[in-house]
Chains A and B, each alone.
Chain A
Amino acid sequence: MTATTSGQLDPAGATGSDTLLSVRGLEVHFPIKRGLLIDRTIGHVRAVDGVDLDVARGQTYGLVGESGCGKSTLGRAVLRLEEPTAGDVVFDGTSLRELTGEAMRRMRKRMQMVFQDPMSSLDPRQSVQSILTEPLRAHLREGGRTAWDKRVLELLEVVGMPSSAAAKFPHEFSGGQRQRIGIARAIVLNPELVIADEPVSALDVSVQAQVINLLEELQDRLGLTYLVIAHDLAVVRHISDRIGVMYLGQIVEEADSDDLYAKPLHPYTISLMSAIPVPDPDIEDRRERILLAGDLPSPANPPSGCRFHTRCPFRQPTRCHDEVPALVEAVPGHRVSCHWAKEIAAGRITASEAAHDPTAEAAPD
């Protein structure tokens, strides 16, 4: 499809491999400090703890997990809004970690972010016109006022807003419209990568679908690459080509969207999928729910061995608690980090009854 709205769509370095973004061994640790006069670091919250992932150009990579699993931190670390502790992010062949100052600033033009809550990510004292012109002002010297104004009107049309919106302020819009403005701001500079952090979770059900459709439409039209971060597996599955499931700072399973849904291999993914309510009474009555015990353990003190073993309904007496599973390719294109994935998939290990009782185990603090 031709991009009618953008002149300089195809960037210079578009040729070569079709991996746009690749993350290697990324770690983000936040120090826990204590003490009045002297800050002593007494530990680290391992928000992201060694993540590898590749996002293909023009595709959508979905990152799912529960709150506190580190998915948002990962998204921010990719853009270096959070400085990574270790690891590397390679964007279109350039390592972002080595970039400094002006070079990084120029690079930012090519990757943008859409935030969860449009009310707090749009400045209430800025008009929509001003919000959308700001990136142009910061990154493009050429053009000038008239060209920028034209671009703003063009963008409003692309995201389905009337041109009268330009003169209004964020509080004059509904949540869905605000999110459209947030999306318009992200695509002003014709970026290649858009990271969307929970783009629809603050919206009403009927409006969510509008925004999801808009994101898909923009991808077709502008050839965008998305990294979508969300807790709702149904939303992620709908828009993603490839999905990574995160648990306590690590990716535990990664597969193409259809494969993941058809045959989840990691016990966490299996439980997560069984927990999602489906709007169909017959399915709800028939299906077997796997209830996980307790809550997410603290990322400051992750469990030994497999991080999921404290809540895992398939836990085995050996290996799980003392041996860290590696993220390995179990089926072509389907990576999973579980010692017993093969046995579980074959049905030789089934979910234990104890896991059905949430009181069975104390939540580790």
Chain B
Amino acid sequence: MSTRTSQDPGPSGADSTSALLEVDELTVTFGPKSKRPVHAVDGVSFSVRPGEVVGLVGESGSGKSVTSLAIMGLLPQRGVRVGGSVRFEGRELVGASQQTLTDMRGRDMAMVFQDPMSSLNPVLPIGLQVTEVLRRHTDLDREGARAEAEDLLRRVGIPDPRRRLKDYPHQLSGGMRQRALIAIALACKPRLLIADEPTTALDVTIQAQVLELLRKLVTDTGTAMIMITHDLGVVAGLCDDVNVMYSGRVVETAGRQELFGVPRHRYTEGLLASIPRMDAPRGQPLRPIPGTPRDTISWSRACAFAPRCPVVDDDCLVPDLELTPDRERRFHLHRCVHPADVPAAVRTTQETP
């Protein structure tokens, strides 16, 4: 896997011509205009280039899943306002017609959801659910689609695919179902794959299999991927660039080396300190973030993380904090008044070219 250095253009870097997907100031607001609206996504910007894996990390309620649904145009029509811009190869998706989106979904971009049992149709055989996509978007006839479906199932590692085509979702194990879902997503060779917590419902050993499959997919076919997860371990092994989300906004964005090596935002720092690690010496107490993700204030009044932040003071009560670039690393941005210090050892290595 390619490791990005800090010299490379980051997700918000200047090199936007080659970007496959550009998300710019995306906002999603729930609720009728008369009532107090909920800003689920509050100005999120990032871009994804071919063969790149971009991570969206956050806890429940951070807006990471809503972001992905907005990109795919899968949010309900009523009671939701989507603002900003999402461009796929320069084509604007926000406000595009349903017909355009239906044509693009499955063909140009596809999605893998968290729970395969509820995203597969329980009364249709797996085979039919794979060929459905192929028949909709390609010229393949029935026999051709069936053969292609069998090949797809084999490629995602489902043993005995010919027999499995006739199976219903309940006859497959959790890992197999997730593979089937990935097969459906890959059916038309999309250039962008959005994976929303694809391994959260799976056991560790099965998770490792599915992650390996996704990793291979990116390196072999150059598919771009948006990985949505709460698991920082998954991010560390898979993503090139990472966006940490909190309360609807990106609070830190960096290459994975920088994010894990020198986290600047206090939330990222807190998350890393609160997970028990296999490789840490035992007996080291965890340092949790106080409060819960629900203890938040509106970004329009102050930093939303302020109620839980260990270093909060009056300076933090600034409305609409900006994402500011790091002094030494241009593509490491954070939205914090009092960012965490860069350890001295890291600082010197960063300064030497």
Interface residues of A (CB under 8 A from B): 66-67, 174-177, 204-210, 212-213, 216, 231-235, 237-239, 257-258, 261, 271-285, 289, 291-292, 294-296, 357-359, 361-363
Contacts and interface: CB of A to CB of B under 8 A. Distances in A.
A279 B3 contact: no
Given A205-B271, A238-B276, A279-B236, A177 B260 contact: no
Given A206-B271, A213-B285, A281 B236 contact: yes
A232 B278 CA distance: 10
A204 B3 contact: no
B146 interface: no
Contacts of B236: 277-281, 283-284
B79 interface: no
A66 B206 CA distance: 10
A357 B155 CA distance: 11
Contacts of A234: 275-278
14 contacts: A66-B205, A174-B292, A177-B292, A204-B293, A209-B276, A210-B288, A212-B276, A213-B288, A237-B278, A275-B204, A281-B260, A285-B3, A292-B205, A295-B206
A343 B208 CA distance: 26
User: DSSP majority for the A interface?
Assistant: helix
B260 to A, nearest CB: 5
B288 to A, nearest CB: 3
Contact of B159 (A232, A284, A363): A363
A116 B260 CA distance: 30
Contacts of B237: 277-278, 281, 284-285
A174 B296 CA distance: 13
Nearest to A214: B288
B235 interface: yes
A281 B271 contact: no
B289 interface: yes
B286 interface: yes
Contacts of B160: 362
Given A206-B288, A234-B278, 7 more contacts: A233-B278, A237-B278, A272-B205, A278-B236, A291-B212, A358-B213, A359-B154
B265 to A, nearest CB: 13
B159 A231 contact: no
A283 B176 contact: no
Interface residues on B, range: 35 or more
B332 interface: no
A258 B283 CA distance: 10
Contacts of A289: 208, 212
Contact of A237 (B159, B207, B276): B276
B96 interface: no
Interface string B185-229: 000000000000000000111111101110000000000000000
B59 interface: yes
Given A206-B59, A206-B271, A278 B288 contact: no
A177 B294 CA distance: 12
Contacts of A358: 157, 209, 212-213
Q: Which 4 A-B pairs have the closest CB atoms?
A: A277-B233, A209-B288, A209-B274, A238-B276
B292 A276 contact: no
B287 interface: yes
**A233, A237, A359 pick with most chain B CB within 10 angstroms:** A359
A280 to B, nearest CB: 6
A258 B282 contact: yes
A202 B154 CA distance: 34
A363 B232 CA distance: 29
B44 interface: no
A283 B279 contact: yes
B159 A359 contact: yes
Contact of B257 (A210, A235, A281): A281
Nearest to A216: B285
B203 A205 contact: no
B182 to A, nearest CB: 12
A231 B204 contact: yes
A360 B282 CA distance: 37
Given A210-B288, A280-B236, A295 B278 contact: no
B270 interface: yes
B285 A292 contact: no
Contacts of B288: 206-210, 212-213
B208 to A, nearest CB: 4
A275 B159 CA distance: 21
A237 B293 CA distance: 26
Nearest to A277: B233
A212 B288 CA distance: 9
A209 B275 contact: yes
A238 B274 CA distance: 12
**A206, A295, A359 pick with most chain B CB within 10 angstroms:** A206
B59 to A, nearest CB: 4
A361 B207 CA distance: 17
Interface string B152-188: 0010011110000000000001111000000000000
Contacts of A205: 59, 230-232, 271, 274-275
Given A204-B230, A272-B204, A279 B276 contact: no
Contacts of A212: 276, 286, 288
A282 B346 CA distance: 15
Contacts of A204: 59-60, 230, 292-293
Contacts of A296: 173, 203
Given A285-B1, A289-B208, A276 B233 contact: yes
Contacts of A361: 159
B80 interface: no
Contacts of A283: 236, 279
A232 B200 CA distance: 12
A271 to B, nearest CB: 6
A330 B196 CA distance: 43
Contacts of B275: 205, 208-209, 234, 279
B264 interface: no
A277 B234 contact: yes
